Structure 1
Amino acid sequence: MEFGFFFILLSFFVLVLVIRKLTTFSKTCKSKLNLPPGPRKLPFIGSLHLFAGSNPPHRTLRDLAKKYGPLMHLQLGEVNIIVASSSKTAQQFLKTHDLDFASRSTVLMSEICCYGNKDIVFAPYGEYWRQMRKICTLELLSAKRVESFRPIREEEMSDLCRWIVLQEGSPINLTQKICMTNYEIMARATFGKKTEEHVKFIAIVKEGMEFMSTFHVADVYPSIKLLSSITGLRRKVEKVHQETDRIIENIIEEHRRVDAADRGSNEDLADVLLRVGDSGSLELPLTIENIKAVLADMFGGGIEAPTTTIDWAMAEMLKNPSILVKAQDEVRQVFDGKRGVSEAYFDELKYVKLVIKETLRLHPPGALLLPRENKERFEINGYEIPARTRVLVNVWAIGRDPEYWEDAESFKPERFLEKQVDFKGNCLEFIPFGAGGGFALESHLLLQMLS
């Protein structure tokens, strides 16, 4: 009874606090800013009600953009949101004014799981961000480093093929097996070995990625600190972080105990970060928390993105049997008589590469690029963008824009025979890995794994 009364009292207190905060916020927003067009805003919640259905956010945003245009303003709780849904509007934020919108929005998930945004993905724009991008480009994800992991990829993929052959005539969960194979590749490349707690680690990584891609009310009412605790979000995120931290901490301790001379030239990503951190050549020190945050970045993205993309590729080919047969015939022709999987022959898989491109067009690893933010008030296309506005680029909508893609909703790998685009963010109608300062540095590694 006492607990029930306490809960009611607490709920009433929170409600009063929310109304007070939102009333104050609402008054400050009534200035005569020339904002981009957008849907009507309700008191206190703005446009949150538009996302109450079962539709994924990127689909809802695409539908709204059809009505309000490719540059759209939304009010979600306390937060101003700008959505770019075409390559032309995306260019404003990813290329033309890249540095003005280079900061990342801080959310609870990144604050906790990335050790106070000490990773690369969510690090605030500045000296540390530039230093870590440089380390990634020159050390962690250079072409030479990615190539050094080639034997790992070939061995694990050969094991996968042998396992599939042994299951002939039996139903198999290919998604689960591909996820495990990607895990084993990333574990060996990142940590030097498969962790003993691999099943638990995969589950934790998946849960963390799910938190990262899910909408949370607490993130759009940042001034109401109690919300994350009341909704239970903070407790869940902290639990995921503690488990991840424990596993990575143990792995780093193992690496610390191995003498550098004993590692030889076979460095994994943890070895590289420890070596660079101990070198004394950095302007800003690389702490253990920095290293753990970066390793979590690499590991999480390296499992989820290729697994999801392969899932979609298989689904699309099953819906289009002629495409599946053509891809199978090419693979059989290229690898006929070969023992195991060798990346030396990947350049001959011309049609398979088209299938991968078309899959990434329709189903990019992140339907919405991670939110960017401007520190100061800005103007785009004659519209005013208030300071600390979160900018979302709807990559999913851009990949299906009929202005750039003929028969945009159909799965047609052959379209890339005529349309010469790359993955590097140079063609803004095709940016599955982002562009500009937000370009995913691990894209080269992901593409090797996808092939």
Structure 2
Amino acid sequence: MHYYTLVFGSILALALLYILAKLSSKGTKKLAPGPSPWPIIGNIHLLGAKPNVSLANLAKIYGPIMSLKLGQMTTFVISSSSMAKQVLKYQDQDFSGRIVPGAIRAHKYSKFSILWSPICPEWRTHRKIMKTYIISSNKLDANQHLRSQKVKELIAYCAKCCQEGEAVDVGQAAFKTNLNLVSNIIFSKDLADPFSDLNVELKDIIWGIMAEIGKPNLVDFYPILEKFDLQGIRRRTTIHIDKLFKIFDGWINERLEEKRKGSTEKSDYLETILNISEENPKEIDHNYIKSAFLDLIVGATDTTTNTVEWAMAEILKQPEIMKKAQAELAEIIGKGKSIEEADISRLLYLQCIIKETLRMHPPAPLILPRSVHQNVELCDYIIPKGSQVLVNVWAIGRDITFWEDPLVFKPERFWSSDMDMRGQDFNLIPFGAGRRMCPGYPLALRMIPTILGSLLNSFNWKLETDIESKYLDMEEKFGLTLAKAHPLRAILSPL
């Protein structure tokens, strides 16, 4: 009897130990490591003026999954390609929510924006419309003549500056080109004069919106302060968006009047979306239409402009890269000839330059913040419901464990690489990945090489100032996008 009691007691003890072990293992699911938060402010003081850099340095201490407390907001930072792949591919659905910055809530923009609205049936419908009528291969092919025309206008403007000995503000010139391209796709009209700075209202509005969105906002750290808007960021953003939406309203009403009069139907996006709206007035109303226009104009102009300016800056910093690129262009295209999009696949060194630019200067250093709507397990850590998740693309592009000499601009590193930028190779994801990947990347991947290659194949370039090229200021200005802190100005001469 004593024997069976002992056996039974042993089995019971083992069962209890098993249960305790299970409970204990569940208890080990904890937050990822990170710096100890201060009272009230948490870890805000560690962000600095360049959060992408500060967070990359902290990741070297705490690892590729790091937790911080930014005011009231629990934030997780992903800083390696393997962890980014887990979040953006394998667990993409878990991390597909959006944390909407306070500035974006202005004018209810976030409610209708494809970039910022939550994934839902309406979001899927709106994204499908944009993909079908703006960024599908068929539509991009059909609009190729517009891109070609706008690039030719850019070259004509640069030629005028060359003749008159005036410096070219590379970012400004690229911005006008991209703005006019997008506005012609949407409205069949130019919004900027490539030869004049007189009409700068629209440019100022767009840059004003981007500047406000990129500012650190107390509301984003302390949602309890949302009603107060202490910094005035939402108020100023509302003013900018209101001005822009009034301009859109004028163009929409003008087109509706033309349609009522039976004018010749245009083939632009405005005409298309108004036709769709007539069939589905509840689903595609004017609020959605104006938010879609804002998504397109801001997204397509700012990121492409910054990439072209960064590429030219890196090329001017290392003149031998310019010589190699111009030699390739002369051999394959012919010196001074126009570049067509069909030529891009043959310009391998130019493609290397663009990949290297996007590696070092990704358009959005921290891809738009994601969130989780329920507790999610990620590599033995728990991501609590409502947490913000940031993927530091800037840090991934400079990861010393993958990239040799990551701080050196070296296009040749891509010579023998078939690495893709379309969200499949997670060491290079300048446009993000997964279902919330930047929807405009197909347009960007056509425009950037065409603009950059045309500039290099039409002129020689040198810095406006007399400083040695190696001392060119490459300071970054952190925001929603990563801009050059000081505009790049260059003097042109004939090839």
SS at match of 2:182: helix
Say whether residues 1:182 and 2:183 are aligned partners.
Answer: no
Say whether residues 1:193 and 2:189 are aligned partners.
Answer: yes
In 1, Cα distance between equivalents of 2:315 and 2:191: 34
In 1, Cα distance between equivalents of 2:334 and 2:423: 35
Change (3 A) 1:357 1:64: same
- Does the 8 Å contact 1:155/1:341 carry over to 2? no
- 1:53-132 map, 5 Å: 53-54=48-49, 56-113=50-107, 115-132=109-126
- Does the 8 Å contact 1:192/1:268 carry over to 2? yes
In 1, Cα distance between equivalents of 2:107 and 2:135: 22
SS at match of 1:82: strand
- Does the 8 Å contact 1:317/1:323 carry over to 2? yes
Say whether residues 1:162 and 2:172 are aligned partners.
Answer: no
Say whether residues 1:244 and 2:244 are aligned partners.
Answer: yes
SS at match of 2:76: strand
1:222 maps to 223
TM-score, normalization by structure 1:
0.87
TM-score, normalization by structure 2:
0.80
Query: Which of these residues, 363, 366, 382, is aligned with residue 365 of structure 1?
Result: 363
In 2, Cα distance between equivalents of 1:297 and 1:172: 28
SS at match of 1:146: helix
Change (3 A) 1:369 1:337: closer
**Structure 1 residues 16-75: Cα deviation after superposition (integer angstroms, max 9, x where no partner):** xxxxxxxxxxxxxxx997110001101111001112x43x11001001101100100010
Gaps of 5+ in 2: 1-26, 193-197, 450-495
1:25 maps to none
**Structure 1 residues 355-405: Cα deviation after superposition (integer angstroms, max 9, x where no partner):** 111101111100000011111111111111110001000001011112221
SS at match of 2:202: helix
Change (3 A) 1:419 1:227: farther
Amino acid at match of 1:343: E
In 1, Cα distance between equivalents of 2:410 and 2:203: 33
In 1, Cα distance between equivalents of 2:338 and 2:425: 35
- Does the 8 Å contact 1:102/1:125 carry over to 2? yes
1:310 maps to 308
Change (3 A) 1:400 1:339: closer
- Does the 8 Å contact 2:179/2:301 carry over to 1? yes
1:448 maps to 446
1:326 maps to 324
- Does the 8 Å contact 2:34/2:67 carry over to 1? yes
**Structure 1 residues 288-321: Cα deviation after superposition (integer angstroms, max 9, x where no partner):** 1011101100010111011100111011111111
1:383 maps to 381
In 2, Cα distance between equivalents of 1:434 and 1:67: 25
- 1:125-164 map, 5 Å: 125-164=119-158
- Does the 8 Å contact 1:71/1:89 carry over to 2? yes
SS at match of 2:249: helix
Say whether residues 1:171 and 2:167 are aligned partners.
Answer: yes
In 1, Cα distance between equivalents of 2:42 and 2:133: 45
2:15 maps to none
Change (3 A) 1:136 1:63: same
**Structure 1 residues 425-449: Cα deviation after superposition (integer angstroms, max 9, x where no partner):** 0111110001011111210111111
SS at match of 1:246: helix
1:207 maps to 208
Say whether residues 1:411 and 2:409 are aligned partners.
Answer: yes
Amino acid at match of 1:272: T
Gaps of 5+ in 1: 1-30
SS at match of 2:351: helix
- Does the 8 Å contact 1:158/1:341 carry over to 2? no
In 2, Cα distance between equivalents of 1:325 and 1:114: 49
Amino acid at match of 1:376: Q
In 1, Cα distance between equivalents of 2:335 and 2:310: 29
In 2, Cα distance between equivalents of 1:250 and 1:195: 14
In 1, Cα distance between equivalents of 2:226 and 2:437: 32
Aligned alpha-carbon RMSD (Å): 2.1
Amino acid at match of 1:34: K
- Does the 8 Å contact 1:110/1:117 carry over to 2? no
**Structure 1 residues 140-164: Cα deviation after superposition (integer angstroms, max 9, x where no partner):** 2111111222111111111211222
In 1, Cα distance between equivalents of 2:90 and 2:342: 39
1:17 maps to none
Amino acid at match of 1:150: Q
**Structure 1 residues 263-283: Cα deviation after superposition (integer angstroms, max 9, x where no partner):** 55x522222222222234x9x
In 1, Cα distance between equivalents of 2:439 and 2:233: 30
Deviation at 1:199, TM superposition (A): 1.6
Change (3 A) 1:338 1:47: closer
SS at match of 1:400: coil
**Structure 1 residues 198-253: Cα deviation after superposition (integer angstroms, max 9, x where no partner):** 5211111111112222321111111223441x222222111111111111111111
Q: How many equivalent pairs are there?
A: 415
1:11 maps to none
2:346 maps to 348
1:12 maps to none
In 2, Cα distance between equivalents of 1:422 and 1:278: 40
1:23 maps to none
* Identity %, equivalent residues: 33
- Does the 8 Å contact 1:188/1:268 carry over to 2? yes
SS at match of 2:223: coil
Change (3 A) 1:189 1:226: same
Q: Which one has a bigger Cα radius of gyration? A: 2
In 2, Cα distance between equivalents of 1:69 and 1:392: 14
